Amino acid sequence: MTRACPVSPGKSCSGGMTLLEVLIALFILGVTTSAIVGVIVSGDRIAGRRTSLSYATTIAKNEVERIRSAQTALVLLADTQYSDTVNGIEFEVSRINIPNDSLLADTVSLCREYTVSVTRQPGPEVSVTFRLLQEFNGSVIR
Partner 1 sequence: MARPAIKYVLLAVRLRSSSGAVLPVVLVFAVFALIVASLYIAAQFTIGKPALVGPASFQALCNARSGIWKGIHLLRLPPPDTLAKINTLDSMFNKQIFGNSVSISPDNSSYFTPGDTAPTGVQPYSVDSFGRAEVSLDYQPCYKVLASKGEFRTANKSVRAFLGGKVYASPDTVLFLVNGFLPEGGVVEGEKVVRSSPKDSSAATGLSSPPDSLSRTGVSSQSGSTSAVASKSSAAPQPSQTAATAPEQLRMGEIAKVVSYYRSLLFQKTDSTLPGRLLTIQSGDDCASVPEVVNGSLFLSAAVSPLVWREKRRVFVFGDLQITGETSVECVEFVTTGDITILDESKLRNVSLFGLKRLVIGDKASFSGNALMLSSVLVYNNARIDERSVVVSYGSAPADTTRKKTPFSISLKQDATVDGVLIACGSPGGISTDRNVMVRGVLWATGPILHQGALFGILRASELVDPQTMQARQNGSTPPLKNTLTGSIRRLPEVINYPFPFFMGTLLIARWDEG
Residues that bind partner 1 (CB under 8 A): 14-17, 21-22, 24-25, 28-29, 31-32, 35-36, 39-40, 42-43, 46-47, 49-51, 53-54, 56-57, 60-61, 64, 68, 74, 98-103, 105-111, 113, 128, 130-135, 137-142
Min CB(122)–partner 1 separation in Å: 21
Report the C-alpha gap between 15 and 4 in whole angstroms. 9
Report the C-alpha gap between 57 and 51 in whole angstroms. 10
Min CB(93)–partner 1 separation in Å: 15
DSSP for 75-135, please give it: -----EEEEEEETTEEEEEEEEEEP-GGGTT-SS--EEEEEEEEEESSSS--EEEEEEEEE
Q: Which is nearer to partner 1, 28 or 80 (CB)?
A: 28
Q: Which is nearer to partner 1, 121 or 135 (CB)?
A: 135
